[in-house]
Amino acid sequence: MTLDPRLAGRRVTVRVPATSANLGPGFDTLGLALSVYDELEVTAVDEPGAHVDVHGVGEGVVETDASNLVVRSIAHVFERAGVELPGLRLIAHNTIPHGRGMGSSGAAIVGGVMAAKGLLEGIVDLDEDALLARATELEGHPDNVAPALFGGLTIAWMGDRGPQHKRLTVHRGVSPLVCVPDASTMSTAMARTLQPESVPHTDAIFNVSRSALLIAALIQSPELLFTATEDRLHQSYRASAMPETDALIQTLRQAGFPAVVSGAGPSILVLCADPGERLRAAELVEQHRATPWTMHMLAVDVLGATVVTHPVEGLA
């Protein structure tokens, strides 16, 4: 492969939302895009390799060379497209917490995939299916990357044509509250080791009914969110690894608030039916939290990841 001259000096900016996956009963299937964002600026340069500047979350910790997850994601898309990768200069402004169940790794992957889409504009066309396929190849499953790519509420599944998704618009009353512990983290890989290989038939039926109800609650009937967020498939098995998360969820649910583990945890997502309920949930967290938690009153992101291409003259 030879470097395409159209890449020289091309610059793109990318914005990617945080996500919350599972949403209680929708294990490995449902995901929601949230109004917290990582922003990237990526420039194709003539020097080989990658140079990364990270600001905000992950500064001084995240890799700043070709091993950076965003860079690896860009490289993966270029390789699959059969286009030689140029040198890259990446500036990342991160606000999505790392290791807290808000989709930070999925956002990094989607950020790289979208940056590659922008850099390859006019060279290789990447449609929605291709974007989701490339992101899923890197992430391993589509439930976090789908809402980060497309926004809103997404249903994601694996089919004969690879990963597929359906995007739905969330009822305007739904008011997410995310409670993030200041100290503890949880990796998705670690959380998955706590899952049993099989579950009782009655629990499987229970979750099928609740996940179906959750779709209706989120798009049409928010008053059903408490019942719709009940789960028997994964949260109880992970509770011992996140005792503070479990205790706060139990406190919230006993008071009637639809609280669930956000992604793999340890953050908590409260899917309130209206802003007033969200304020009451936040007051309860403030009264009963045993350790420091940061509360975020968020909106549902409706755009998903965006990329803007800025052609420049000459080499950067």
Tens of pLDDT, residues 200-235: 889 899 999 999 999 999 999 999 999 999 999 878
Distance between CA atoms of residues 103 and 154, nearest Å: 14
d(CA 247, CA 238): 12
Question: Where does the pLDDT of residue 196 fall: very low under 50, low under 70, confident under 90, or very high at 90 and above?
Answer: low
Helix (H) or strand (E) holding 184: none
Closest-CA residue to 136 (of 76, 68, 90): 76
Flag whether pLDDT at 188 surpasses 80. Answer: no
Using 50, 70 and 90 to split pLDDT, how confident is the model at 197?
confident
Which residues on neighbouring strands pair with residue 34, listed in sequence order?
18, 300
Q: Please state the rounded mean pLDDT for residues 278-307.
A: 94
CA distance 29 to 64: 32
Give the pLDDT confidence of 4-57 residue by residue, as tens digits: 888 989 999 999 999 999 999 999 999 999 999 999 999 999 889 999 999 999
Between CA 287 and CA 52 the distance in angstroms is 41
Beta bridge mates, 12: 42, 309
User: What's the CA gap between 136 and 139, in Å, rounded?
Assistant: 5
Residue 118, marked binder: no
Percent of the chain with pLDDT over 70: 94
Tell me whether residue 50 is annotated as binding. no
Task: Tell me the average pLDDT across 277-297.
Answer: 93
Percent of the chain with pLDDT over 90: 82
**Hey, what domains does the chain have and what are their CATH numbers?**
5-160+301-310 (3.30.230.10), 175-297 (3.30.70.890)
Burial of 249 (0-12, 13-18, 19+ CB in 10 A): buried
Q: Report the pLDDT value the prediction gives residue 233, as an integer from 0 to 100.
A: 87
Q: What is the dihedral of CA 200, 202, 204, 206, to 10 degrees?
A: -140
**Angle, vertex CA 180, rays to CA 58 and CA 247, nearest 5:** 140
**Can you spell out the DSSP letters for 261-281?**
E-TTSSSEEEEESSHHHHHHH
How many CB atoms lie under 10 A from the CB of residue 169?
A: 12
Q: Is 103 annotated as a binding residue?
A: yes
- Exposed, middle or buried, 27 (CB in 10 Å: 0-12/13-18/19+)? middle
What one-letter code names the amino acid at 22? Answer: N
CA distance 267 to 78: 34
- What are residue 307's DSSP bridge partners? 14
Ligand-binding annotation for 104, yes or no, is yes
The residues, any chain, with a CB within 8 Å of residue 179's CB and separated by 6 or more, are 248, 267, 268, 270, 285, 289, 293, 294, 295, 296
296 is in an annotated binding site: no
98 is in an annotated binding site: yes
Please indicate if the annotation marks 105 as binding a ligand: yes
Residue 33, helix vs strand vs coil: strand
Is 264 annotated as ligand-binding?
no
Q: Across all residues in the chain, what is the average pLDDT?
A: 93
Looking at residue 184, what is its pLDDT? 65
pTM score? 0.93
The answer to whether 271 and 261 have CB atoms below 8 angstroms apart is: no
106 assigned to a ligand binding site: yes
The answer to the question of whether 221 is labelled as a binding residue is no
Phi first, then psi: give them for residue 58, nearest 5 degrees.
90, -5
Residue 300 has pLDDT above 50, yes or no: yes
